[in-house]
């Protein structure tokens, strides 16, 4: 049975599924450590989702604002431990007050959801506006050289997760098209009653050269670019991790 919601990503069951599939990892360690080294510690987490990193920053005494357009995810994040210490905003970078952030992060490959050049430029410009002069921007994006999408087949990604209430959900993703550097895929979450909460999403796999050029065009100075979460050289661990200065 398919779910016929207008926006399947707004299904209130999905935050628990996302959290079960995406536990704390080396990427979270990287970003939290970066935030904790930042003077001032006024933090913007853009595309915060269900707030895994956001509430950890709040718990370490950071002043943090979490922004995401998905209201269902924001509400789930608000209910987590330390969620009451976060300024939650359902919206986009356009909702953020200018010149009020010491460090802005975009994690879990949020940078890839901005498909067009105009969208990406607008986000980078908005982040530059949000940061104080000399403030830090850090984000990750998958390195297209790793061609990770080639593993996104139903056979290779199908699996089950168990939610805190004991519900078992089966899920998988499957690529439906690759056009230049934009990968489109269908995603499925099948619940015990047979409901398939599913949708179609697209991600842009920008090359290192494109990432560098666009970040610099928005007025940032790139400090570091890593290929993974332990200082790996770019091209070795499937990631492009950017740390830049406004």
- What is d(CA 114, CA 132) in angstroms, rounded to the nearest whole number? 23
Beta strands in 143-180 (DSSP E): 159-162, 168-179
Contact criterion met (CB below 8 Å) for 110 and 104: no
Handedness of CA 41, 110, 84, 26 (dihedral sign): negative
- What b-and-e string marks burial along 168-195, b requiring 16 or more CB atoms within 10 Å of the CB? ebebbbebeeeeeeebebebbbbbeeeb
Which pLDDT score, from 0 to 100, does residue 7 have?
A: 77
Domain residue limits, the chain = 11-141+205-245, 146-203
Which pLDDT score, from 0 to 100, does residue 38 have?
A: 84
In 3D space, the residue among 70, 11, 20 whose CA is nearest the CA of residue 196 turns out to be 11
* 11-141+205-245 carries CATH number 3.50.50.60: no
pLDDT (tens place) for every residue of the chain, 246 residues total? 444 445 788 999 999 999 999 999 999 999 999 999 987 789 999 999 999 999 999 998 779 999 999 999 999 999 999 999 999 999 999 999 888 899 999 999 999 999 999 999 999 999 999 999 999 999 999 999 999 999 999 999 999 999 999 999 999 999 999 999 999 999 999 999 999 999 999 999 999 999 999 999 999 999 999 999 999 999 999 999 999 999
Number of H helices, E strands in the chain: 7, 11
Q: What is the DSSP string of 29-97?
A: HHHHHHHHTSSS-EEEEET-TT-HHHHHHHHTT-EEEEEES-HHHHHHHHTSTTGGGSEEEES-GGGSP
- What is d(CA 96, CA 129) in angstroms, rounded to the nearest whole number? 9
């Amino acid at each position: 049975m398919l779910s016929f919601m207008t926006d399947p990503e707004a299904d209130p069951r999905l935050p628990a599924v996302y959290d079960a599939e995406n536990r704390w990892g080396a990427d979270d360690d990287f970003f939290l450590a970066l935030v904790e080294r930042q003077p001032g510690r006024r933090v913007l987490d853009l595309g915060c989702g269900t707030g895994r990193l956001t509430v950890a920053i709040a718990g370490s005494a950071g002043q943090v604002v979490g922004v995401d357009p998905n209201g269902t995810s924001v509400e789930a994040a608000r209910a987590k431990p330390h969620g009451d210490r976060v300024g939650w905003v359902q919206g986009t970078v356009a909702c953020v007050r200018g010149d009020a952030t010491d460090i802005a992060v975009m994690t879990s490959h949020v940078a890839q959801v901005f498909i067009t050049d105009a969208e990406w430029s607008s986000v980078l410009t908005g982040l530059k506006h949000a940061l104080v002069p000399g403030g830090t921007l850090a984000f990750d994006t998958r390195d297209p050289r790793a061609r990770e999408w080639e593993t996104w087949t139903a056979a290779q990604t199908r699996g089950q997760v168990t939610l805190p209430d004991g519900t078992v959900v089966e899920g998988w993703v499957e690529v439906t098209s690759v056009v230049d550097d934009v990968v489109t895929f269908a995603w499925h979450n099948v619940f015990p009653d047979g409901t398939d909460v599913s949708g179609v999403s697209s991600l842009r796999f920008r090359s290192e050269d494109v990432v560098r050029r666009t970040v610099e065009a928005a007025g940032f100075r790139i400090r570091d670019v890593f290929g993974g979460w332990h200082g790996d050289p770019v091209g070795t661990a499937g990631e492009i991790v950017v740390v830049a200065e406004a």
